Amino acid sequence: MEFWIESHGVKTTTLDQLVQKHCQPNQPRPPLASNQLNGMLKGFIDLLLVHEGRYYVVDWKSNWLGKDDAAYTRMAMQLEMLHHRYDLQAVLYVLALHRLLKARLPNYDYDA
């Protein structure tokens, strides 16, 4: 799914603080560069699906962590996700899905 997110004066340092507070808090990751976002962010979500009334975002990654399954532990994958800041990508994808559902579904409630 292609999406566009409009931004006006979004400070990347503030965005980074919020993402770090709410997505795997207290875990180390590289900080976002200090900047200000103005304009349109364009992205593509690999797959959206609904199962038993809940919506899911699916994103494929092909990062190589090692030669066998033992290299792909939950912790190793979590560290790789944070190192590449896929946590920020996930937040943007959820925001895009939220806006789509809010626009298209009557009585949409994010918490439900």
pLDDT given at position 112 = 85
Query: What is the band of 12 on the pLDDT scale with cuts at 50, 70, 90?
Result: very high
Q: How much of the chain, in percent, has pLDDT values that exceed 90?
A: 97
pLDDT one-digit tens code per residue, 28-80: 999 999 999 999 999 999 999 999 999 999 999 999 999 999 999 999 999 99
The reply to whether 63 falls in a domain is yes
Length of the chain: 112
pTM of structure:
0.89
Selected catalytic residue, list 16, 59, 69, 109: 59
Give how many domains the chain has, as a whole number: 1
The reply to whether 109 falls in a domain is no
59 catalytic residue (yes or no): yes
The reply to whether 112 falls in a domain is no
User: What is the C-alpha to C-alpha distance for residues 25 and 87, in angstroms, rounded to an integer?
Assistant: 11
Inter-CA distances, 1 with 38, 47, 56, Å: 22, 7, 13
pLDDT given at position 52 = 94
> What mean pLDDT do residues 10-34 have?
96
pLDDT given at position 87 = 97
* Owning domain of residue 52: 2-104
Instruction: Measure CA 66 to chain center.
Output: 24
